[in-house]
Amino acid sequence: MIMLGIETSCDETAAAVVQDSIDPSTRILSNVVQSQHRQHRPFGGIVPEIAARSHLQHVDEVINAAMSDAAVGFGDLDGVAATGGPGLIGGVIVGVTSAKGIALARDIPFLAINHLAGHALTARLTHDVDFPYLLLLVSGGHTQLLIVNGVADYERLGTTVDDAVGEAFDKSAKLLGLGYPGGPEIEKEAIKGDPRKISLPRPMKGRDSCNFSFSGLKTAVRNKVRELRDRGLDERDIENLCSSFQAAVADVMADRSRRAAEVFKRKNPEGQHLVVAGGVAANLALRGSLEKVALQAGLKLIAPPPALCTDNGAMIAWAGLERMAQGLTSDLAFAPRPRWPLDPRAPAVGGAGVKA
Protein backbone atom coordinates (compact mmCIF):
# COMPACT_ATOMS: atom_id res chain seq x y z
CA MET A 1 0.00 0.00 0.00
CA ILE A 2 1.06 3.57 -0.69
CA MET A 3 0.01 6.45 1.58
CA LEU A 4 0.27 10.23 1.28
CA GLY A 5 0.74 11.96 4.63
CA ILE A 6 0.15 15.67 5.33
CA GLU A 7 1.37 17.47 8.49
CA THR A 8 0.36 21.07 9.27
CA SER A 9 -0.17 21.14 13.03
CA CYS A 10 2.45 23.73 13.95
CA ASP A 11 5.15 25.58 11.99
CA GLU A 12 6.15 23.04 9.33
CA THR A 13 4.18 22.43 6.16
CA ALA A 14 5.07 18.83 5.35
CA ALA A 15 4.01 16.01 3.05
CA ALA A 16 5.44 12.57 2.37
CA VAL A 17 4.71 9.37 0.49
CA VAL A 18 5.33 6.10 2.34
CA GLN A 19 4.85 2.46 1.37
CA ASP A 20 4.41 -0.57 3.63
CA SER A 21 7.44 -2.55 2.45
CA ILE A 22 9.11 -5.13 4.70
CA ASP A 23 12.47 -3.33 4.59
CA PRO A 24 12.36 -0.12 6.72
CA SER A 25 15.02 1.49 4.52
CA THR A 26 12.69 1.44 1.48
CA ARG A 27 9.48 2.65 3.14
CA ILE A 28 9.88 6.42 2.69
CA LEU A 29 9.50 7.33 -0.98
CA SER A 30 9.58 11.09 -0.33
CA ASN A 31 9.55 13.46 2.63
CA VAL A 32 9.21 17.20 1.98
CA VAL A 33 9.25 19.72 4.84
CA GLN A 34 8.93 23.48 4.43
CA SER A 35 9.86 25.20 7.68
CA GLN A 36 8.42 28.50 8.86
CA HIS A 37 11.29 29.32 11.21
CA ARG A 38 12.23 32.43 9.25
CA GLN A 39 8.72 33.91 9.56
CA HIS A 40 8.45 33.26 13.31
CA ARG A 41 12.05 34.02 14.36
CA PRO A 42 11.50 37.81 14.79
CA PHE A 43 8.81 37.05 17.37
CA GLY A 44 10.82 34.46 19.31
CA GLY A 45 7.98 31.93 18.98
CA ILE A 46 5.15 30.74 16.80
CA VAL A 47 2.42 33.19 15.78
CA PRO A 48 -0.69 31.08 14.99
CA GLU A 49 -2.11 33.43 12.35
CA ILE A 50 1.19 33.58 10.47
CA ALA A 51 1.48 29.78 10.67
CA ALA A 52 -2.01 29.18 9.27
CA ARG A 53 -1.53 31.59 6.38
CA SER A 54 1.80 30.01 5.49
CA HIS A 55 0.27 26.52 5.47
CA LEU A 56 -2.53 27.73 3.21
CA GLN A 57 -0.02 29.35 0.85
CA HIS A 58 2.35 26.39 0.56
CA VAL A 59 0.43 23.16 1.19
CA ASP A 60 -0.36 22.47 -2.48
CA GLU A 61 3.22 22.93 -3.65
CA VAL A 62 4.57 20.79 -0.80
CA ILE A 63 2.11 17.97 -1.62
CA ASN A 64 2.99 18.16 -5.32
CA ALA A 65 6.71 18.09 -4.49
CA ALA A 66 6.25 14.98 -2.33
CA MET A 67 4.32 13.22 -5.08
CA SER A 68 6.93 14.21 -7.68
CA ASP A 69 9.86 13.09 -5.51
CA ALA A 70 8.16 9.73 -4.94
CA ALA A 71 7.50 9.37 -8.68
CA VAL A 72 3.87 8.40 -8.07
CA GLY A 73 0.57 9.84 -9.22
CA PHE A 74 -2.58 10.44 -7.19
CA GLY A 75 -4.06 7.36 -8.86
CA ASP A 76 -1.35 5.25 -7.23
CA LEU A 77 -2.39 6.18 -3.69
CA ASP A 78 -4.25 3.71 -1.49
CA GLY A 79 -5.11 6.36 1.06
CA VAL A 80 -4.36 9.87 2.28
CA ALA A 81 -3.63 10.75 5.92
CA ALA A 82 -3.45 14.13 7.63
CA THR A 83 -2.83 15.36 11.14
CA GLY A 84 -6.28 15.91 12.64
CA GLY A 85 -4.96 17.35 15.93
CA PRO A 86 -3.78 18.30 18.43
CA GLY A 87 -2.21 21.51 17.22
CA LEU A 88 -2.84 25.08 16.11
CA ILE A 89 -6.35 24.73 14.74
CA GLY A 90 -5.85 27.01 11.72
CA GLY A 91 -3.03 24.87 10.38
CA VAL A 92 -4.77 21.59 11.21
CA ILE A 93 -7.82 22.72 9.21
CA VAL A 94 -5.61 23.38 6.15
CA GLY A 95 -4.07 19.90 6.19
CA VAL A 96 -7.31 18.04 6.92
CA THR A 97 -9.21 19.91 4.21
CA SER A 98 -6.47 19.20 1.64
CA ALA A 99 -6.47 15.49 2.51
CA LYS A 100 -10.26 15.24 2.39
CA GLY A 101 -10.28 16.87 -1.05
CA ILE A 102 -7.78 14.33 -2.43
CA ALA A 103 -9.63 11.41 -0.81
CA LEU A 104 -12.96 12.56 -2.23
CA ALA A 105 -11.58 13.21 -5.71
CA ARG A 106 -9.76 9.86 -5.93
CA ASP A 107 -12.35 7.83 -3.94
CA ILE A 108 -9.73 6.55 -1.50
CA PRO A 109 -9.77 6.31 2.31
CA PHE A 110 -9.11 9.40 4.42
CA LEU A 111 -7.31 8.91 7.74
CA ALA A 112 -7.25 11.55 10.47
CA ILE A 113 -4.09 11.01 12.51
CA ASN A 114 -3.37 12.11 16.06
CA HIS A 115 -0.14 14.10 15.74
CA LEU A 116 1.23 12.46 18.89
CA ALA A 117 0.49 9.00 17.48
CA GLY A 118 2.54 9.98 14.45
CA HIS A 119 5.53 10.59 16.71
CA ALA A 120 4.74 7.49 18.78
CA LEU A 121 4.71 5.14 15.78
CA THR A 122 7.79 6.57 14.01
CA ALA A 123 9.96 3.93 15.69
CA ARG A 124 7.97 1.27 13.82
CA LEU A 125 8.63 3.12 10.56
CA THR A 126 12.40 3.21 11.01
CA HIS A 127 12.89 0.03 13.07
CA ASP A 128 11.01 -3.22 13.56
CA VAL A 129 9.73 -2.47 17.08
CA ASP A 130 7.06 -4.77 18.48
CA PHE A 131 4.25 -3.75 20.83
CA PRO A 132 4.28 -3.03 23.70
CA TYR A 133 7.04 -0.47 24.19
CA LEU A 134 7.75 2.43 26.52
CA LEU A 135 7.61 5.85 24.88
CA LEU A 136 9.12 9.15 26.01
CA LEU A 137 7.39 11.80 23.90
CA VAL A 138 9.22 15.13 24.11
CA SER A 139 8.31 18.15 22.00
CA GLY A 140 7.47 21.83 22.15
CA GLY A 141 3.91 21.13 23.23
CA HIS A 142 4.06 17.78 24.99
CA THR A 143 6.18 15.84 27.46
CA GLN A 144 4.76 12.43 28.27
CA LEU A 145 5.70 8.87 29.19
CA LEU A 146 3.36 6.27 27.73
CA ILE A 147 3.08 2.54 27.18
CA VAL A 148 2.28 1.94 23.51
CA ASN A 149 0.22 -1.26 23.50
CA GLY A 150 -0.98 -0.97 19.91
CA VAL A 151 -1.66 1.34 16.99
CA ALA A 152 -4.59 2.91 18.83
CA ASP A 153 -3.92 1.81 22.42
CA TYR A 154 -1.89 4.09 24.71
CA GLU A 155 -1.53 4.15 28.49
CA ARG A 156 -0.17 7.39 29.91
CA LEU A 157 2.20 6.92 32.85
CA GLY A 158 3.24 10.55 33.27
CA THR A 159 2.95 14.01 31.79
CA THR A 160 4.14 17.53 32.51
CA VAL A 161 2.24 19.37 35.22
CA ASP A 162 3.11 22.72 33.64
CA ASP A 163 5.46 23.49 30.72
CA ALA A 164 6.55 21.04 28.04
CA VAL A 165 10.31 20.52 27.76
CA GLY A 166 10.50 21.99 24.26
CA GLU A 167 8.72 25.08 25.51
CA ALA A 168 11.28 25.37 28.33
CA PHE A 169 14.10 25.16 25.77
CA ASP A 170 12.53 27.86 23.58
CA LYS A 171 11.78 30.26 26.45
CA SER A 172 15.19 29.77 28.06
CA ALA A 173 16.87 30.44 24.72
CA LYS A 174 14.84 33.64 24.36
CA LEU A 175 15.93 34.77 27.85
CA LEU A 176 19.55 34.29 26.75
CA GLY A 177 19.08 36.20 23.51
CA LEU A 178 19.56 33.10 21.36
CA GLY A 179 17.69 32.28 18.16
CA TYR A 180 14.50 30.34 17.49
CA PRO A 181 13.87 27.43 17.75
CA GLY A 182 15.65 27.32 21.09
CA GLY A 183 16.52 23.63 21.38
CA PRO A 184 19.22 23.49 18.68
CA GLU A 185 20.59 26.88 19.78
CA ILE A 186 20.99 25.80 23.40
CA GLU A 187 22.53 22.48 22.36
CA LYS A 188 25.07 24.32 20.19
CA GLU A 189 26.11 26.63 23.04
CA ALA A 190 26.04 23.82 25.65
CA ILE A 191 28.82 21.92 23.91
CA LYS A 192 31.20 24.78 24.73
CA GLY A 193 30.10 25.22 28.35
CA ASP A 194 30.66 23.56 31.73
CA PRO A 195 27.49 21.85 33.08
CA ARG A 196 28.83 22.03 36.67
CA LYS A 197 29.50 25.76 36.64
CA ILE A 198 25.96 26.92 37.42
CA SER A 199 23.63 25.15 39.84
CA LEU A 200 20.06 24.64 38.58
CA PRO A 201 17.15 22.64 40.09
CA ARG A 202 16.00 19.18 38.96
CA PRO A 203 12.19 19.46 39.33
CA MET A 204 10.30 16.26 40.27
CA LYS A 205 13.48 14.19 40.44
CA GLY A 206 13.05 11.26 42.81
CA ARG A 207 9.25 11.49 42.96
CA ASP A 208 7.19 8.29 42.91
CA SER A 209 5.08 9.47 39.99
CA CYS A 210 6.27 9.64 36.39
CA ASN A 211 5.27 13.29 35.94
CA PHE A 212 7.46 16.20 34.87
CA SER A 213 7.70 19.89 35.74
CA PHE A 214 9.75 22.54 33.95
CA SER A 215 8.34 25.91 35.00
CA GLY A 216 10.63 26.07 38.05
CA LEU A 217 13.69 25.29 35.98
CA LYS A 218 12.72 27.99 33.49
CA THR A 219 12.25 30.47 36.35
CA ALA A 220 15.66 29.53 37.76
CA VAL A 221 17.24 30.29 34.37
CA ARG A 222 15.49 33.67 34.27
CA ASN A 223 16.71 34.55 37.77
CA LYS A 224 20.25 33.46 36.96
CA VAL A 225 20.25 35.56 33.77
CA ARG A 226 19.17 38.63 35.77
CA GLU A 227 21.89 37.95 38.35
CA LEU A 228 24.60 37.57 35.72
CA ARG A 229 23.45 40.65 33.82
CA ASP A 230 23.97 42.76 36.92
CA ARG A 231 27.70 42.08 36.67
CA GLY A 232 27.82 41.81 32.86
CA LEU A 233 26.56 38.69 31.09
CA ASP A 234 29.19 37.48 28.61
CA GLU A 235 29.47 34.67 26.06
CA ARG A 236 31.09 32.32 28.55
CA ASP A 237 28.18 32.79 30.95
CA ILE A 238 25.74 31.92 28.17
CA GLU A 239 27.67 28.76 27.28
CA ASN A 240 27.81 27.61 30.91
CA LEU A 241 24.15 28.38 31.51
CA CYS A 242 23.11 26.48 28.37
CA SER A 243 25.26 23.53 29.39
CA SER A 244 23.85 23.55 32.94
CA PHE A 245 20.27 23.85 31.68
CA GLN A 246 20.71 20.99 29.24
CA ALA A 247 22.30 18.82 31.95
CA ALA A 248 19.38 19.53 34.30
CA VAL A 249 16.86 18.54 31.63
CA ALA A 250 18.79 15.36 30.82
CA ASP A 251 18.94 14.42 34.52
CA VAL A 252 15.19 14.93 34.94
CA MET A 253 14.40 13.00 31.77
CA ALA A 254 16.61 10.11 32.85
CA ASP A 255 15.11 10.00 36.35
CA ARG A 256 11.48 10.13 35.17
CA SER A 257 12.16 7.57 32.41
CA ARG A 258 13.87 5.26 34.91
CA ARG A 259 10.76 5.36 37.10
CA ALA A 260 8.52 4.70 34.09
CA ALA A 261 10.73 1.79 32.99
CA GLU A 262 10.13 0.15 36.37
CA VAL A 263 6.36 0.45 35.89
CA PHE A 264 6.59 -0.70 32.26
CA LYS A 265 8.64 -3.81 33.04
CA ARG A 266 6.34 -4.74 35.91
CA LYS A 267 3.32 -4.56 33.60
CA ASN A 268 5.09 -5.94 30.52
CA PRO A 269 8.00 -8.25 31.42
CA GLU A 270 8.32 -9.12 27.72
CA GLY A 271 8.75 -5.47 26.67
CA GLN A 272 12.08 -4.80 24.97
CA HIS A 273 12.26 -1.14 23.92
CA LEU A 274 12.41 2.41 25.24
CA VAL A 275 11.52 4.77 22.40
CA VAL A 276 12.18 8.52 22.45
CA ALA A 277 10.30 10.64 19.92
CA GLY A 278 9.39 14.26 19.22
CA GLY A 279 11.51 17.28 18.34
CA VAL A 280 13.55 17.32 21.57
CA ALA A 281 14.54 13.68 20.88
CA ALA A 282 17.08 15.07 18.39
CA ASN A 283 19.15 16.35 21.36
CA LEU A 284 22.28 14.19 21.63
CA ALA A 285 22.84 14.85 25.34
CA LEU A 286 19.33 13.63 26.09
CA ARG A 287 19.87 10.51 23.99
CA GLY A 288 23.08 9.78 25.88
CA SER A 289 21.35 9.90 29.26
CA LEU A 290 18.50 7.71 28.02
CA GLU A 291 20.95 5.10 26.68
CA LYS A 292 22.10 4.54 30.27
CA VAL A 293 18.52 4.30 31.53
CA ALA A 294 17.61 1.74 28.87
CA LEU A 295 20.70 -0.35 29.60
CA GLN A 296 19.98 -0.40 33.34
CA ALA A 297 16.35 -1.37 32.72
CA GLY A 298 17.20 -4.17 30.30
CA LEU A 299 15.68 -2.28 27.37
CA LYS A 300 17.01 -1.15 24.00
CA LEU A 301 16.80 2.57 23.22
CA ILE A 302 15.28 3.41 19.85
CA ALA A 303 15.58 7.01 18.61
CA PRO A 304 14.52 7.87 15.05
CA PRO A 305 16.91 9.91 12.86
CA PRO A 306 16.81 13.62 13.80
CA ALA A 307 14.92 14.54 10.60
CA LEU A 308 12.10 12.21 11.67
CA CYS A 309 12.02 13.50 15.26
CA THR A 310 10.78 16.94 14.26
CA ASP A 311 7.37 17.31 12.59
CA ASN A 312 7.20 15.60 9.19
CA GLY A 313 4.75 14.00 6.79
CA ALA A 314 6.39 10.56 6.79
CA MET A 315 5.29 9.84 10.35
CA ILE A 316 1.71 10.80 9.47
CA ALA A 317 1.72 8.65 6.34
CA TRP A 318 3.12 5.68 8.29
CA ALA A 319 0.53 6.07 11.05
CA GLY A 320 -2.07 6.13 8.28
CA LEU A 321 -0.76 2.84 6.89
CA GLU A 322 -0.78 1.29 10.36
CA ARG A 323 -4.37 2.37 10.96
CA MET A 324 -5.61 1.40 7.51
CA ALA A 325 -4.15 -2.10 7.93
CA GLN A 326 -6.51 -2.45 10.91
CA GLY A 327 -9.49 -0.92 9.13
CA LEU A 328 -9.33 2.27 11.20
CA THR A 329 -10.22 4.81 8.52
CA SER A 330 -11.95 8.15 9.16
CA ASP A 331 -15.20 9.66 8.00
CA LEU A 332 -15.07 12.75 5.80
CA ALA A 333 -17.18 14.46 8.47
CA PHE A 334 -14.19 14.33 10.86
CA ALA A 335 -13.70 17.71 12.59
CA PRO A 336 -10.13 18.97 13.22
CA ARG A 337 -9.26 19.04 16.93
CA PRO A 338 -7.05 21.53 18.80
CA ARG A 339 -6.87 18.97 21.65
CA TRP A 340 -6.69 15.21 21.25
CA PRO A 341 -5.18 13.14 24.09
CA LEU A 342 -3.54 9.83 23.21
CA ASP A 343 -4.96 8.26 26.35
CA PRO A 344 -8.46 9.65 26.92
CA ARG A 345 -8.80 7.49 30.06
CA ALA A 346 -5.88 9.22 31.82
CA PRO A 347 -6.85 11.55 34.68
CA ALA A 348 -6.52 15.30 34.26
CA VAL A 349 -3.34 16.86 35.60
CA GLY A 350 -3.58 20.34 37.10
CA GLY A 351 -1.69 22.96 35.13
CA ALA A 352 -0.93 20.69 32.18
CA GLY A 353 -3.74 21.92 29.91
CA VAL A 354 -3.27 20.74 26.31
CA LYS A 355 0.06 19.19 27.24
CA ALA A 356 -1.69 16.32 29.05
Backbone phi, psi, residue 82, to 5°: -145, 150
Q: What is the pTM of this model?
A: 0.94
CATH superfamily of 2-123+307-355: ATPase, nucleotide binding domain (3.30.420.40)
Q: Which residues contact 292 (CB under 8 A, 6 or more apart)?
A: 254
Report residue 285: phi and psi, to 5°. -65, -40
Alpha-carbon 173 to chain mean position: 19
CATH 3.30.420.40 in the chain is located at: 2-123+307-355, 130-306
pLDDT of 356 > 60? The answer is no
* 296 CB-contact burial (10 Å; exposed 0-12 / middle 13-18 / buried 19+): exposed
Model pLDDT, residue 351:
63
Percentage of the chain exceeding pLDDT 90: 90
Determine the 3-state secondary structure of 312 from DSSP.
Answer: coil
Indicate if the pLDDT at residue 97 is higher than 80: yes
For 114-179, the DSSP string reads: EHHHHHHHHHHHHS-PPSSEEEEEE-SS-EEEEEEEETTEEEEEEEBSS--HHHHHHHHHHHTT--
pLDDT band per the 50, 70, 90 thresholds, residue 128: confident
- Which pLDDT band, with edges at 50, 70 and 90, does 352 fall under? low
User: 213 pLDDT exceeds 90?
Assistant: yes
pLDDT score recorded for residue 232: 85
- Decide if pLDDT at 355 tops 70: no
Mean pLDDT across the stretch 205-228?
95
Q: How confident is the model at residue 281 (pLDDT cuts 50, 70, 90)?
A: very high
Nearest by Cα to 245 from 293, 173, 312: 173
Q: Please tell me the class of the 130-306 domain.
A: alpha beta
Task: Supply the pLDDT for residue 28.
Answer: 98
Per the CB < 8 A criterion, the answer to whether 77 and 215 are in contact is no
Q: Are 253 and 168 in contact (CB under 8 A)?
A: no
End-to-end Cα spacing for the chain: 33
Question: Is pLDDT at 61 greater than 70 in this prediction?
Answer: yes
